[in-house]
Structure 1
């Protein structure tokens, strides 16, 4: 039994794929920029002896890293789910 979603069953699905791809690209770019900015602030705050700002910047680095990983892995995860659905 070959199970595969019927992407042609909905009108405008190609436009939706383009919009989702663009949104994921924007999310990845913003996440990488936030990693860079937070890492710079973390380094400056640590070198000047400001532990409160260093802790906030460290949190920013980890949150942005998590967002980048989730956005980057979303496409691979969806392709894996579709391939699993074909095997059922």
Structure 2
């Protein structure tokens, strides 16, 4: 005796027919990598500015550099998370 699901054909979208997902993954990866490198560079610059300003007694510059470090760290975290999220969405879209 055969079951009902075995009699039904496999119905679903053919994502192999839609091109460009590989290119989209490369473009998103390149843009997010550029953003991540920029954020890391800003962390280095702001940390160096913070160190120099605090050693010379420039408390206003040190405070602004500290804020810059925190903003750049937040940008790096969000950019890394966006890269992981974009890859997850592209993988999820291929399985729908």
TM value normalised by structure 2: 0.68
Pick one of 10, 13, 19 that aligns with 2:27: 19
CA–CA separation in structure 1 for the residues paired with 2:14 and 2:79: 24
Number of residue equivalences? 79
CA contact (8 A) 1:7 1:13 kept: no
Which residue matches 1:62?
A: 70
Q: Does 1:49 align with 2:57?
A: yes
Relative contact order (alpha carbons < 8 A, sep ≥ 6): 1 or 2 greater? 1
Q: Does 1:32 align with 2:40?
A: yes
Structure 2: gaps spanning 5 or more residues: 1-12
Return the structure number with greater helix share.
1
TM value normalised by structure 1: 0.74
Structure 1: gaps spanning 5 or more residues: none
Q: CA RMSD in A?
A: 2.5
**How far is 1:22 from its partner?**
0.2
Q: Does 1:71 align with 2:92?
A: no
| Structure exhibiting the larger radius of gyration computed from Cα positions | 2
